[in-house]
Structure 1
Amino acid sequence: MNSLLSKNFKGGSVLSFGELLLRISPDAGGEWLRDNALPFYVGGAELNVATALALWDVPSRYLTALPKNGLSEQIVTYLNQKQIDTSAIQYQGNRLGLYYLTKGQDLKHDALIYDRANSAFAELKIGMIDWDKVLDGVSWFHFSAICPAISQQIAEVCLEAVKAASTKGITVSVDLNYRSKLWQYGEYPEYVMPKIIQYCDVVMGNIWSAEKMLGIEVLGDIHESGQKSIYLKEALSSAQRMMERFPNCKAVGYTFRFDERHDIDYYACLYTGGEFYTSQEYNTTQIVDKVGTGDCFMAGLIYGFYNNQQAQQTLDMATAAAFQKLFITGDATTQTIGEITNAIKYE
């Protein structure tokens, strides 16, 4: 019996932990210089999850570190208006983290520029957060692999967090976001992440991030045919090997997004309770914003498990939510559960 499907999360909150970032989004042609207007969005992987869950009526808390100033106060007020509980936020340090991402691009190559060194979050250290207090009333703790990529000391804070959550019997989820531009402090992800993942119940990502960060090898040249069936077969193998290596893991969700020129193909799978579930494939040629699709998928998984939905229903909703995010400007989804349910693709 899969304990995630039988566990009662109701009455507890989902606490998302990570760095709040401002995304600065210049256009590729330089019109922002002539118009004297530079679009920005409030985001960060874990905040995107917290925002979606709050919108979907799941009790949502958010933990980050912010400098104590007027700008932070405005941002916290903005989050509170979205029904996100911000009472756990730590106030310290001197600056917010920023990143620049060219409009319409994803988090790859030269389109992405980070400006987050010495941010309030980056200066967190073990012992600074009272985890016993912060985790009181929490039934689910979520973070992403972006956090331990920042520095050795943040990796240690993440390990401190998941140990504390696990000790309290809190379900722990992680998104295996891989950001090559962040892993610059001398440690390889494959050395850092397994120590943290051993405390996680739900792992989300893709087969390539699992290989890069956990050493779970992608077997064979699966790109040779490009067939969905071959990708999914490898996903099942990867998920099984992950659970063998990390016995605490109870569910693995993998997404597949292939960008070919202006075409996007998207589908996902979920392995839990010894069963392998797959979604329908979604396709589009019209994209508004690529940021936050994975975060939306993660939020969908949490929503499904939190509400004790069946695994296939959970996967279908998470996949549709992620795909629909491609048509929404900003870092987090604005769609309701009803809108997402109507967008689910069936055979």
Structure 2
Amino acid sequence: MDNKAANTESVLTFGELLLRFCIDTDGNWLNENSLPFYIGGAELNVATALALWGIPTKYFTSLPDNDLSTQIINQLMSRNIDTSIIHKGGSRLGLFYLTKGKDMKHDTVIYDRADSAFAELTTNTIDWDELFKGTSWFHFSAICPALSQQTASLCEEALIAASKRNIHISVDLNYRAKLWRYGKEPDEIMPQLVKYCDLIMGNLWAADKLLGITVTPGTDKSGQKKIYLQEALNSSELIIRKFPKCKAVANTFRFDQGSGIKYYTTLYTDKKLYYSAEYRAEIITDKVGSGDCFMAGLIYGFYNHLDPSNILNFATAAAFEKLFIAGDATKSTVEKINNAIRYEN
């Protein structure tokens, strides 16, 4: 993917900041009066990783104008994230609850984000010139347009504004079934947004659900890497055909094996499919944020003009390393990630 932007320009991520509360399966948090929590949100997790890796990074969200928000913003600033464009307004912060050790697709996730400050944002209220000043890359996820038609329209306004300024755009096809509750199917909304994107990341089943890129029936039950890689190639080619602005498509394959994980990824660009080494672990710490870390790794690679195989290797190792870090965002440095890259297939 051609990226001519100067490396002094920022990556801007756009989405809702959330607090994640981690309940345990046995209810001990009730007896101990202790409930671990993390600051998160898919787009913030991407911003945290990029800032840690030395990429100039800005983050846009909306937070209530109160002391809690001030403390959170100070925390983000300590991560070297530019918070100057965060909108102040609304009455509450979005929350969600997730049983320890589960991922965001699990039935145990409970959202409490209705009428949040971010969800209340409307079109024609944001100064896009100010927002995109000094920006070369804009990132959002499918979580935002899942909240409401109002938020989907806001995303489209942002994408149009970014496109007019020739800013590279990426999207993570996060599919959250519990969020799509406002009378629209994902594939009625997402194609109108994805058409602006240069880089699309997700997995085969998210592309099916969100973009209408059909997966061959029975693929999910095959268990065969060869079949998954062929489906990744087919899906990527169909996506680029359907959305000609797109120059690169990435897919993740993460399979739970008891308490362990098997993980590998693909990247399709310039009519070639690249695939990573296969990573395995018997025990992991936290599944949340691994996909966000992979997304950040892709942006990091393209931003720094790495070749496709190196982009994929870095992003995959970054995502896998996140599985051993508690919390929503990575703490792994570039050096640590480079040392963790596996090359055997």
| TM-score (norm: length of structure 1) | 0.98
Identical counterparts, % of pairs = 59
Residue 145 of structure 1: which of 135, 142, 156 is its match?
Answer: 142
Q: Is the 8 A contact 1:92 1:120 kept in 2?
A: yes
Cα distance in 2 between the residues matched to 1:155 and 1:224: 33
1:158-180 residue CA offsets vs partner (Å, 9 max, x unmatched): 00001100110000000000000
State whether structure 2 residue 22 is matched by structure 1 residue 20. no
Q: State the shift of 1:224 in Å.
A: 4.4
**282-291 or 224-233, which moves further after superposition?**
224-233
1:64-119 residue CA offsets vs partner (Å, 9 max, x unmatched): 00000000000000000110000110001000000000111111343100000000
Aligned partner of 1:315 in structure 2 is 312
Cα distance in 2 between the residues matched to 1:74 and 1:216: 42
Paired residue type of 1:215: G
State whether structure 2 residue 71 is matched by structure 1 residue 88. no
Q: Is the 8 A contact 1:98 1:116 kept in 2?
A: yes
Aligned partner of 2:2 in structure 1 is 3
1:191-238 residue CA offsets vs partner (Å, 9 max, x unmatched): 100000000100000010000000000024223431101101000100
1:19-78 residue CA offsets vs partner (Å, 9 max, x unmatched): 000000011111111111100000000000000000000001000000000000000000
CA RMSD of aligned residues (A): 0.9
Cα distance in 2 between the residues matched to 1:141 and 1:222: 33
Aligned partner of 1:77 in structure 2 is 74
**25-34 or 221-230, which moves further after superposition?**
221-230
State whether structure 2 residue 166 is matched by structure 1 residue 169. yes
Cα distance in 2 between the residues matched to 1:319 and 1:79: 25
Paired residue type of 1:3: D
Aligned partner of 1:213 in structure 2 is 210
Secondary structure class of the residue paired with 1:84: coil
Cα distance in 2 between the residues matched to 1:291 and 1:109: 11
Cα distance in 1 between the residues matched to 2:2 and 2:294: 21
Equivalences for residues 226-245 of structure 1 within 5 A: 226-245=223-242
Aligned partner of 1:122 in structure 2 is 119
Paired residue type of 2:18: L
Q: Is the 8 A contact 1:9 1:140 kept in 2?
A: no
Secondary structure class of the residue paired with 1:342: helix
Q: State the shift of 1:246 in Å.
A: 0.3
Cα distance in 1 between the residues matched to 2:6 and 2:290: 24
Cα distance in 1 between the residues matched to 2:100 and 2:260: 17
Return 5+ residue gaps in structure 1 as ranges.
none
Equivalences for residues 40-79 of structure 1 within 5 A: 40-79=37-76
1:267-298 residue CA offsets vs partner (Å, 9 max, x unmatched): 00000112110000001111100000000000
Secondary structure class of the residue paired with 1:25: strand
Aligned residues: 344
Return 5+ residue gaps in structure 2 as ranges.
none
Secondary structure class of the residue paired with 1:223: helix
Secondary structure class of the residue paired with 1:129: coil
Cα distance in 2 between the residues matched to 1:302 and 1:120: 27
Residue 95 of structure 2: which of 95, 98, 103 is its match?
Answer: 98
Cα distance in 2 between the residues matched to 1:102 and 1:182: 18
Aligned partner of 1:247 in structure 2 is 244
State whether structure 2 residue 336 is matched by structure 1 residue 339. yes
Aligned partner of 1:257 in structure 2 is 254
State whether structure 2 residue 272 is matched by structure 1 residue 294. no
Secondary structure class of the residue paired with 1:74: helix
Cα distance in 1 between the residues matched to 2:41 and 2:189: 21
1:224–1:101 distance in 2 versus 1, CA, 3 Å: closer
| TM-score (norm: length of structure 2) | 0.98
Secondary structure class of the residue paired with 1:257: strand
Q: State the shift of 1:189 in Å.
A: 0.5
Q: Is the 8 A contact 1:9 1:307 kept in 2?
A: no
